[in-house]
């Protein structure tokens, strides 16, 4: 059962926030959903948006300005939280890149983390079912995200052929097994056996032969995280070697922030809409 927390009219569509109990994550969760105009009369497709480190459902919903474009193109947009939440959920105080706000879209297997940190199952199983059961949407879905959420969008798509019509990402962490954020998260959630990490890494999945249809990656060239954490070129090389058609746009002068995302989210929604409608 979902409980409505708020509702606002924007570009003639409705922006909602809901809460619900997640059986997968074993805690209460919040997500936002935008319904474009006329959605009572027509089944629209769904774009899932996965946010980055430190985010809740709110950051993308209130900062990106996506609603103008979702209304224009007739796309329902769902933005979940980035981790399980609540007093009972394991966390590490004062660390923003692990625990709450940093679920990394994997299924944790390590002691105590495995009680709640199953974000991959939540995003690919529980949430889509919840959306289909509660909203008037078509069977078509696509996925996008930012940074940690860009990594999430890539792995959800690579691990589930056919589930998403198209996949895009802003500044994704493309090779988490080879960067400090990913190594910290994966050693915490998956343990020290690095052989097990590759199942959650987009570059490694591509090297193993996983495929993705319609892939668009966006990266700001003034992004402070590009060289040390994001390593976009590793994805470019992996896609080239496996003949995956990657549309990669570098943006001169743009950083890692929501100012950058809001500048190009319209282009991404228009791009997804051609595969969704």
Q: How far is the CB of 42 from ligand LAXINWYW (least distance, A)?
A: 32
Alpha helices (H) in 29-66, listed in sequence order: 58-63
Pick one of 25, 29, 47, 55: the residue that binds ligand LAXINWYW (CB under 6 A): 55
Catalytic residue among 147, 157, 168, 171: 147
CA–CA separation, 253 and 260 (whole Å): 9
Query: Nearer Cβ to ligand LAXINWYW, position 209 or 253?
Result: 253
Q: Does 263 bind ligand LAXINWYW (CB under 6 A)?
A: no
Stretch that binds ligand LAXINWYW, among 49-57, 121-129, 203-211, 215-223 (CB under 6 A): 49-57
Q: Is 256 a catalytic residue?
A: yes
Q: How far is the CB of 230 from ligand LAXINWYW (least distance, A)?
A: 9
Residues in the chain: 277
- Looking only at residues 108 through 167 of this chain, which bind ligand LAXINWYW when binding is defined by CB under 6 A? 146-148
Pairing of strands 2-10, 246-251: unpaired
The size of the interface with ligand LAXINWYW (CB under 6 A), counted in residues, is 13
Q: Does 84 bind ligand LAXINWYW (CB under 6 A)?
A: no
Stretch that binds ligand LAXINWYW, among 111-119, 121-129, 189-197, 250-258 (CB under 6 A): 250-258
Q: What are phi and psi of 128, to 5 degrees?
A: -60, -35
CA–CA separation, 25 and 124 (whole Å): 13
Contacts 24+ apart (CB under 8 A), 176-180: 176/104, 176/151, 176/200, 176/201, 177/201, 177/204, 178/203, 178/231, 178/234, 179/228, 179/229, 179/230, 179/231, 180/228, 180/229
Q: Does 26 bind ligand LAXINWYW (CB under 6 A)?
A: no
Active site residues: 147, 223, 256
């Amino acid at each position: 059962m979902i409980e409505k927390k708020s509702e606002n009219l924007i570009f003639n569509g409705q922006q909602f926030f809901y809460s619900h109990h997640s059986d997968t994550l074993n805690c209460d969760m919040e997500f936002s959903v935008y319904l474009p105009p006329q959605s009572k009369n027509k089944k629209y497709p769904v774009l899932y948006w996965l946010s980055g480190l430190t985010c809740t459902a709110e950051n993308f919903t209130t900062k990106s300005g996506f609603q103008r474009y979702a209304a224009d193109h007739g796309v329902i947009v769902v933005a979940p939280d980035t981790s399980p939440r609540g007093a009972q959920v394991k966390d590490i105080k004062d660390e923003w890149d692990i625990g709450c706000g940093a679920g990394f879209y994997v299924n944790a297997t390590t002691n105590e983390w495995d009680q709640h940190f199953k974000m991959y199952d939540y995003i690919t199983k529980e949430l889509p079912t919840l959306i289909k059961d509660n909203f008037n949407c078509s069977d078509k879905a696509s996925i996008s995200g930012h940074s940690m959420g860009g990594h999430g969008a890539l792995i959800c798509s690579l691990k589930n052929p056919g589930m998403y019509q198209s996949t895009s990402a802003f500044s994704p962490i493309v090779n988490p097994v080879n960067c400090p954020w990913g190594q910290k998260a994966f050693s915490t959630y998956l343990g020290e056996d690095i052989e097990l990490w590759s199942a959650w890494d987009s570059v490694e999945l591509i090297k193993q032969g996983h495929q993705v249809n319609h892939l668009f990656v966006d990266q700001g060239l003034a992004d402070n995280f590009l060289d040390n954490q994001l390593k976009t070129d590793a994805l470019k090389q992996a896609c080239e070697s496996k003949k995956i058609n990657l549309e990669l746009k570098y943006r001169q002068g743009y950083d890692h922030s929501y100012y950058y995302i809001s500048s190009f989210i319209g282009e991404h929604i228009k791009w997804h809409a051609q595969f969704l409608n």
